[in-house]
C-alpha cells in the first residue's frame, strides 16, 4: 500500500507533506472500514440464537465459548474434560444438512446434562465430554463405536474420523485444547476399524507421573486462564472470556446478571495479620464463590480483593444468588497460619438487558453499586439504580 501511494505521489508531483497526509487518510479509512466490519459482525452474532449459527465462523466462535466454559469451571466440578472432534467426508451437495444430521446422532451418545455438542468448521461436529482424563480412552472408544454403527444411516456420510484432547494433559487454554484435538484428528485414518486418535501427552506433563501429580501441575501452571491464587479466571483474561459468554447468552435470548463482589476491609486484615493472611482470605472467599455458584456461571477475579460473576438468570434470581454468597462468606472462618479470621463481602448487581446490553455497561453499574455499599461502611447486596447511584459530574 505504501509503495503504491508513493508512486501515486510521484506521478502527481505531490509534495512529501501532502503525500504523508494522503497516507494518513488512507490508513484511517482502512481502520474505520475494519472497525465497521467488526462492529457489524458483533451485532449480527449477538442477535443469533444457538440454533441459528449460519456461518462456519459463527459455529467456530460458539465452540470456542463452550470449551472456555468448561475450562473456567474445572476447579469447581472435576479434574478434567475432553474435546472430541469428528470430521466426516460426504459427496452430498448440502454439506451443512449432513453436518446437522451427524450432530443429532452424536447428541444421542453424550450425557445431555453434562456434555455439550457443537458444529465446527464445515466438516466437523464436536462434543465436550465432562469426564476424568483417565476415562477418555474408554469414552472415546464407546462414542466412536456407536457413531460407526449409525453413520451409514446418516444421509451423505461416507466415512469419518475422530481426534481427542483432554484437560489438563493437553493444555490449559481453549486454543491449545482445540488445536491438539485437531492435530490428533489428522493422524487418524478414515478407513480404520475404530478411526479415533487421542493426542499423545505433551512432554511437559510426563506420562510417567500419576494423575494426581498431573492435576497438581495443571493447577500450578494454568498459564492462560486461571488465577494461581484463587483458581478462577484471572484479571488479564476475565474480560474477554466474559464478553464471549455474554455474547452466547444474548444469542440464546436469555437474561443474565453480573455480580461485582468485594471483600470488605482487606486493608485491616493486612494490618492485623499480614499480606499472607490476606491472600489466604482472598483464596478462601474464592472457594466459597466456586462452591455456591453453578456450572453455568463464570467466576473471575478482576482486582486483588474483588471478584466478578456472570450468571445466566433473571435479576430476581441474581439477587438470591448474591444474598446466598454474602451470607456464606460472612459465616465462613478462614484459617491462616493457625489463626482464625473472619471476613465479609459486599456485592453490586446489574442485569441484562435492564441495565445494559454489553459487558462494559453492566460492569460499570455493578462496580458503582459495590462502591456505594462500601461508602456505607457495611456489608450488603445492592442492585444498581442509575437514578440514585450514578456518579455526579
pLDDT digits (tens, 9 = 90+) for 347-372: 999 999 999 989 999 999 999 999 99
More confident residue, 58 or 263: 263
| Structural domains of the chain ordered from first start | 54-220 (3.30.70.270), 235-389 (3.30.70.270)
Residue 43 has pLDDT above 50, yes or no: no
Which has the minimum average pLDDT: 11-15, 98-102, 145-149? 11-15
Q: What is the pLDDT of residue 31?
A: 44
Rg (CA), the chain: 25
Which has the minimum average pLDDT: 75-84, 150-159, 290-299? 75-84
Q: What is the pLDDT of residue 208?
A: 34
Q: How far apart (Å, rounded) are the C-alpha atoms in residues 3 and 352? A: 48
For 336, residues 6+ apart whose C-beta sits below 8 A from its C-beta are 273, 276, 277, 280, 281
Q: What is the pLDDT of residue 262?
A: 96
Q: What is the pLDDT of residue 306?
A: 94
Q: What is the pLDDT of residue 206?
A: 35
Q: Which of 176, 189, 179, 154 is nearest to 85 (CA)?
A: 179
Q: How far apart (Å, rounded) are the C-alpha atoms in residues 223 and 233? A: 11
Residues 147-159, mean pLDDT to the nearest whole number: 79
All cell numbers assigned to 25 = 487518510
Q: What is the pLDDT of residue 34?
A: 43
Whole-structure pTM value? 0.58
Phi, psi for residue 384 in degrees, rounded to 5: -65, 130
SS3 labels along the chain: CHHHHHHHHHHCCCCHHHHHHHHHHHHHHHHHHHHHHHHHHHHHHHCCCHHHCCCHHHHHHHHHHHHHHHHHCHHHHCCCEEEEEEEEEECCCCHHHHHHHHHHHHHCCCCCCCCEEEEECCCEEEEEECCCHHHHHHHHHHHHHHHHHHHCCCCCEEEEEEEEEEECCCCCCHHHHHHHHHHHHHHCCCCCCCCEEECCCCCCCCCCCCHHHHHHHHHHCCCCCECCCCCCECHHHHHHHHHHHHHHHHHCCCCEEEEEEEECCHHHHHHHHCHHHHHHHHHHHHHHHHHHCCCCCEEEEEECCEEEEEECCCHHHHHHHHHHHHHHHHHCEEEECCEEEECCEEEEEEEECCCCCCHHHHHHHHHHHHHHHHHCCCCCEEECCHHHHCCCC
Amino acid at each position: 500500500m505504501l509503495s503504491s501511494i508513493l508512486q501515486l505521489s510521484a506521478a502527481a508531483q505531490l509534495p512529501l507533506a501532502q503525500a504523508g497526509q494522503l497516507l494518513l487518510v488512507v490508513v484511517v479509512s482502512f481502520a474505520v472500514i475494519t472497525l465497521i466490519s467488526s462492529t457489524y459482525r458483533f451485532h449480527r452474532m449477538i442477535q443469533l440464537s444457538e440454533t441459528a449459527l449460519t456461518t462456519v465462523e459463527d459455529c467456530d466462535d460458539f465452540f470456542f465459548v463452550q470449551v472456555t466454559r468448561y475450562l473456567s469451571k474445572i476447579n469447581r466440578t472435576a479434574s478434567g474434560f475432553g474435546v472430541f472432534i469428528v470430521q466426516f467426508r460426504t459427496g452430498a451437495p448440502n454439506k451443512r444438512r449432513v453436518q446437522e444430521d451427524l450432530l443429532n446422532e452424536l447428541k444421542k451418545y453424550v450425557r445431555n446434562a453434562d456434555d455439550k455438542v457443537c458444529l465446527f468448521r464445515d466438516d466437523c461436529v464436536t462434543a465436550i465430554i465432562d469426564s476424568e482424563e483417565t476415562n477418555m480412552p474408554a469414552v472415546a472408544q464407546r462414542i466412536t463405536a456407536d457413531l460407526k454403527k449409525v453413520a451409514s444411516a446418516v444421509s451423505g456420510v461416507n466415512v469419518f474420523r475422530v481426534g481427542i484432547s483432554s484437560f489438563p494433559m493437553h493444555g490449559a487454554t481453549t486454543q491449545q485444547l482445540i488445536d491438539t484435538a485437531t492435530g490428533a484428528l489428522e493422524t487418524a485414518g478414515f478407513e480404520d476399524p475404530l478411526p479415533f486418535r487421542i493426542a499423545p501427552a505433551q512432554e511437559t506433563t510426563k506420562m510417567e507421573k500419576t494423575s494426581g501429580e498431573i492435576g497438581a501441575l495443571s493447577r500450578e501452571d494454568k498459564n492462560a486462564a486461571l488465577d494461581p491464587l484463587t483458581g478462577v479466571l484471572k484479571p488479564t483474561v476475565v474480560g474477554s472470556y466474559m464478553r464471549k459468554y455474554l455474547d452466547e447468552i444474548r444469542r440464546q435470548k436469555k437474561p443474565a446478571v453480573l455480580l461485582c463482589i468485594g471483600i470488605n476491609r482487606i486493608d485491616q486484615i493486612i494490618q492485623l495479620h499480614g499480606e499472607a493472611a490476606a491472600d489466604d482470605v482472598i483464596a478462601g472467599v474464592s472457594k466459597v464463590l466456586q462452591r455456591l455458584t453453578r456450572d453455568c456461571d463464570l467466576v473471575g477475579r478482576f482486582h486483588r480483593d474483588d471478584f466478578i460473576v456472570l450468571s445466566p438468570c433473571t435479576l430476581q434470581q441474581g439477587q438470591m444468588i448474591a444474598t446466598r454468597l454474602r451470607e456464606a462468606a460472612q459465616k465462613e472462618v478462614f484459617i491462616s497460619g493457625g489463626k482464625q479470621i473472619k471476613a465479609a463481602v459486599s456485592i453490586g448487581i446489574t442485569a441484562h438487558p435492564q441495565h445494559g446490553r454489553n459487558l462494559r455497561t453492566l460492569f460499570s453499574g455493578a462496580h458503582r453499586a459495590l462502591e456505594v455499599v462500601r461508602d456505607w461502611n457495611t456489608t450488603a447486596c445492592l442492585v444498581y439504580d442509575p437514578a440514585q447511584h450514578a456518579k455526579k459530574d
